[in-house]
Structure formats: C-alpha cells, structure tokens
Amino acid sequence: MAEAIGVIFKKAGKIYYFKDDDQTELNVGQQVVVKTVRGVELGEVVTDVKEIDESNLKSPLKPIIRKATLSDIQKAKENEEEAERAFDICLKKIEEHGLPMKLIDAEYTLDKKKLLFYFTADGRVDFRELVKDLASVFRTRIELRQIGVRDEAKMLGGLGPCGRQLCCKTFLRNFEPISIKMAKKQDLSLNPSKISGVCGRLMCCLRYEAKNYLNTKKELPNIGQQVKTKMGVGRVKDRNVVKETVRVELKNNEEFEVDAAEVEVKSSKKDK
C-alpha cells in the first residue's frame, strides 16, 4: 500500500494518483503541477491523501512537482488560447492532405513540449505526413490520438435527450459497459433512438440508474396482481417506476392511476 493524492486534468476526468514526496499540505480543489506520461501538466486535486494498492497500478506513482503558482495558471490559459489557433491550422492541414478524419480538440502540455490533437475516424488513418507538416509549423513534438465517439461526446459536451448536460461531461469519470438488458429491466422502449445518447451509443444512465429501478420495482405490485384500493379491488395493469405509481383496472373496466403506497396486494402473480 502507498499514500497517494488523486488528481484530474479535465472536469469529470479520470482520476490519476501521484505521491507527495515533499509532504506538502494539499487540499481538494488546489491546482498542482505534475509530470505524466504526456509531459508536465497542470491538474486539480480531487482527493485527500489515501492509501492505494500499488499492485493495481499500471506504472509506479509519479511525484507531484509543486503547488501551481499564478505563473503556472497563467501559462495554462495562454496555452489554451494557442491550442485554439493550432486547432484551426490543423483543420486546414487535414483538408490539404485529404484525410478522412474529424478533428475534435487540441491541447498543449504545460511546458509546451508536446502538442496533442484528438480526432475520430471510421478506420485507421495514415497521418504520418500530416504529423511532419504540423511539426514543421509548431516546432514541437506532435501527437495525434484517435478517440471513440463516447470520448468525443465527453470532450465536446452537449445536451442529452433529458435536456440536461451530458453525464459524461459533468460527473461520470469513466465509461462503463452498458447492455440492452439494462433497458429491458427498466421497462424502456427498445427503439434505438429512445435509448441512445448523442454519441450514438446506449445512454450511460441506463447503467447507473438500473440498480435504483430494480430496487424500486421490488417494492411495487407486479403487473397482474390483484390489489385493494379506495376505489375497490382491481388488477394492476401497468406501473410507473419513476413516479412509483400503478395503473389499476377495476372489475367494471374502469382504470385509474394511484400511488403504490396506497394499494394493498391481495394476491401474487408473476409479471407478464
């Protein structure tokens, strides 16, 4: 076990762990300068010192270089502005080379020793000549990194079908496997347009909401069960897990919706 501090480099980004050899007092929210596999970068502390199992790490813990200074923060802002200009230049170069790729983002490391470009493409792209061209323009190390459509959505952001900002952009740090089975368990329409996010993949919320749906469904009467209500005895015809209500059909075929807490189960039948 080793003591480490969690650091992120983008909002809702993956947490990376670093060791604090100087025993500097670092608080959550403070910015720090660290050395990563990409180079020297500016990050934000998101966890207090905690013990982690080094055997689960892909590489040895790297040290935190220092607390970020005002100069570091200003440099990072300047790098962002220069990266925007680099993005525009790269777009033109991609067009000149006729490459089938979509440029998503550009960023410099804090020390400007590396300029990274992120892109999506349907298949592999031979961008060797593009890299040489870009290197001659920016006079620094160039790295082109192909990403997936989910990573693209996380970088660009946007609004989901729910009308809120994308979960991956606001709080989901990692992408977890999602299956159509999760949609079935939540009684959702299996129409792809209804359960897919702006990235075209199954919506992330299908996974992290699945457990709540299953727990709530256990507390609701099953479809087909007979229940006693203020209006009389009837049969559960449908249920709304989100609202925690059930639609009851009486013997005279009259239907109404009622809170699940207001009904009493009279018999037990399996879900249809």
pLDDT band of 208, cuts 50, 70, 90? confident
Check if the beta carbon of residue 182 is closer than 8 Å to that of residue 206.
yes
User: Mean pLDDT of all residues in the chain?
Assistant: 90
* Separation in Å, CA 265 to CA 24, 221, 227, 235: 61, 7, 4, 10
| Model pLDDT for residues 224-254, shown as the tens digit of each residue | 899 888 888 989 998 888 889 999 989 888 8
Can you list the positions of beta strands (E) in 90-212?
102-108, 114-120, 141-146
Q: Could you give phi then psi for residue 172, rounded to 5 degrees?
A: -80, 115
| Model pLDDT for residues 146-201, shown as the tens digit of each residue | 999 999 999 999 999 889 999 999 999 989 999 999 998 888 889 998 999 999 99
Overall CATH class of domain 220-265: mainly beta
Output the pLDDT for position 203: 93
> What is the SS3 assignment for 263?
coil
Q: In what order do the strands lie in the sheet with 141-146?
A: 102-108, 114-120, 141-146
> Which range in 23-27, 47-51, 168-172, 210-214 is most confidently predicted, on average pLDDT?
168-172
Can you list the positions of beta strands (E) in 25-99?
31-36, 39-45, 50-52, 62-67
> What is the SS3 assignment for 266?
coil
Is residue 271 scored above 70 in pLDDT? no
Distance of CA 250 to the CA centre of its chain: 45
Selection from 243, 266, 163 nearest residue 205 by Cα:
163
SS (H, E, C) 80-106: HHHHHHHHHHHHHHHHHHCCCCEEEEE
Check if the beta carbon of residue 149 is closer than 8 Å to that of residue 200.
yes
Is residue 211 scored above 60 in pLDDT? yes
Domain ranges of the chain: 2-68, 73-147, 164-210, 220-265
> What is the SS3 assignment for 247?
strand
Is residue 105 scored above 90 in pLDDT? yes
Q: The whole model's pTM is what? A: 0.79
Q: Could you give phi then psi for residue 141, rounded to 5 degrees?
A: -70, 130
Output the pLDDT for position 267: 54
Is residue 42 scored above 50 in pLDDT? yes
Is residue 24 scored above 90 in pLDDT? no
pLDDT band of 217, cuts 50, 70, 90? confident
Query: What is the Cα–Cα distance from 115 to 76, expressed in whole angstroms?
Result: 13
Least confident span in 98-107, 114-123, 145-154, 186-195: 186-195
Domain covering 73-147 assigned CATH 3.30.300 in the classification: yes
Residues in the chain: 272
Output the pLDDT for position 23: 66
